[in-house]
Structure 1
Amino acid sequence: MAKHKSADAAPETAQPLPRMKTKEYEHELRRLHGELVAMQEWVKGAGAKVCVLFEGRDTAGKGGTIKAITERVSPRTFRVIALPAPTDREKSQMYLQRYVPHLPGAGDVVIFDRSWYNRAGVERVLGFCTPEQSDQFLRLVPEVERAIVESGVILIKYWLEVSADEQTRRLEGRINDPRKVWKLSDMDLKSYSRWYDYSRARDEMFRTTDTAWAPWYVANTDDKKRGRLNVITHLLSQVPYKPLQRREVTLPKRQKADGYREPALSVRHIPTPY
């Protein structure tokens, strides 16, 4: 996990690691899931407020990373927010207005699957807002995020980065796999053709909104498994939770049947072909 580097930074020369094996990934993910549960219990007990934003290229793995984070924790504590396109009424409101009600309260971890940064990315590139509206957003959002942080929210912003070749491979997989066609939209195809427009929009977003109080963290996700583990490990490092103290639990004895028998109810049972 790397903190944002400017577009002018020297390229990294380290050779990429081989793709992680599934067995190794599942072993490490199991351990991290235990840590996420410990974090959850600390957040609930301390009344902490955690807000995590996920942005990135199309196909970069935001959904899979969020699923890996949330699959073993309580949805009452970890809430995932993935807002649809704004309604006409929402378009008439202050831009950030529809996001504010979803910010965390005490004991909450809120994860935005895309966020208010739509205005700096997809809306800017595909013309859903004017350049002036996007520039105004970039100018104002650092102070909005300062106010969020000063209210006691732990605000963590992730950008998931995928290479052009890997994005092509993943989109072709969506085209050719009937299980994934729902992931492929006309907007994905438009976005694919505008790779460098997105790069310029990303660079400008980093330049203006990578602040001391709300920095961007960039994760390479060409290897989805490594990317997910890196993000979860980093997320855990940003929350000052304490290890979970496991308590000794002994199951109580079940009550006696006391004459109870299963009745022959006329209900429909699911067939059991397996």
Structure 2
Amino acid sequence: MEELTPRNLKRLNSKRGLQLFLSEDDMTIPKALRILNHESKLERLQEELIKLQQWVEAEGEKLVVIFEGRDAAGKGGAIRRITQHLNPRELNVVALSKPTDEEKSQWYFQRYIKNLPRNGQITFFDRSWYNRAVVEPVNGFCTQKEYEVFMNQVNQFEKMIIDSGIRVVKFYFSISKDEQSRRFEDIKSSPVKKWKFSKVDESALELWDDYTSYKARMFEETDTEIAPWIIIRANRKSRARVEVIEKLLELIPYNN
């Protein structure tokens, strides 16, 4: 059990600390302290993110942050924590839906190019062009030829946008099969979350090994020196959210 120092006692006696004990019947002192310590650390990191965004704006930088991972890995929740206190006018969160017939007739990367950031802006991709590296071939949403064309072009595409002055950071959220199954059950049983459960989610566990195979090739061929993959172990959401923010702050040379 964590020591009840004067600082910890002050946290427990705060409005937020008392709220935790009132909101959950099984709340314990160690659990409350873990939550309070996590929220305090997250808040400090979010303050640094504000400085990072101000640096991007002041320097006219362009930043792309990609979030990939299995379904229910926590990508959306991490993006929400990152953007929670940022200036919404200087960022975009892009989660593209199924392509239209017109978009299907275009160069695959074209609809993603439309969403790249202008000077002073950050764009967060909640899934990105890497849909074609894993999700699409696993679920039969593209042909094998379209998949191979993508794999042959993606590194050069990223080199082009990086050479043009766009910083690219690629995160992959990794969870276990058991954890994915548990999260799916939680989503399906929740009246406010069940809308998130899609047909793709429905087959994700059955196709686990196929996802793993395509993911392995994606890492092998697209983990480049200029755009490496950063793997976030995401079985614990709170830890993953802190880690992804810490990595982002570490990678971007803002004035901290």
Does TM, normalized by the shorter one, top 0.5?
yes
For residues 81-160 of structure 1, the aligned pairs below 5 Å read 81-160=94-173
Other-structure match for 2:71: 58
Other-structure match for 2:235: 222
Q: Per residue, is there more helix in 1 or in 2? A: 2
Alpha-carbon distance in 2 for matches of 1:21, 1:91: 47
Alpha-carbon distance in 2 for matches of 1:75, 1:201: 35
Other-structure match for 1:199: 212
What amino acid does structure 1 have at the position aligned with 2:198?
Answer: S
Alpha-carbon distance in 1 for matches of 2:229, 2:101: 31
Contact 1:81 1:111 in 2 (8 A): yes
RMSD: 1.4
How high is the sequence identity, in percent, across the aligned residues?
44
TM-score by length of 2: 0.86
User: Deviation at 1:174?
Assistant: 1.1
Other-structure match for 2:175: 162
Q: Which 4+ residue blocks in structure 1 deviate beyond 2 angstroms?
A: none
Alpha-carbon distance in 1 for matches of 2:61, 2:132: 28
Alpha-carbon distance in 2 for matches of 1:162, 1:63: 14
User: Deviation at 1:186?
Assistant: 1.6
What amino acid does structure 1 have at the position aligned with 2:252?
Answer: V
CA offsets 1:30-69 (integer angstroms, 9 cap, x no match):
0001000000111110001100011001010000000000
What amino acid does structure 2 have at the position aligned with 1:156?
Answer: V
Contact 1:81 1:110 in 2 (8 A): yes
CA offsets 1:202-241 (integer angstroms, 9 cap, x no match):
0011111111111111001100000000000000111111
Q: Is 1:238–2:251 an aligned residue pair?
A: yes
35, 45, 53: which one aligns with 1:40 = 53
Contact 1:139 1:208 in 2 (8 A): no
What amino acid does structure 2 have at the position aligned with 1:151?
Answer: S
Q: 2:109 aligns to what SS in structure 1?
A: helix
Contact 1:43 1:49 in 2 (8 A): yes
Q: 1:99 aligns to what SS in structure 2?
A: helix
Alpha-carbon distance in 1 for matches of 2:189, 2:111: 36
- Computing the radius of gyration from Cα coordinates, the structure with the larger value is 1
User: Deviation at 1:23?
Assistant: 1.2
What amino acid does structure 1 have at the position aligned with 2:246?
Answer: T
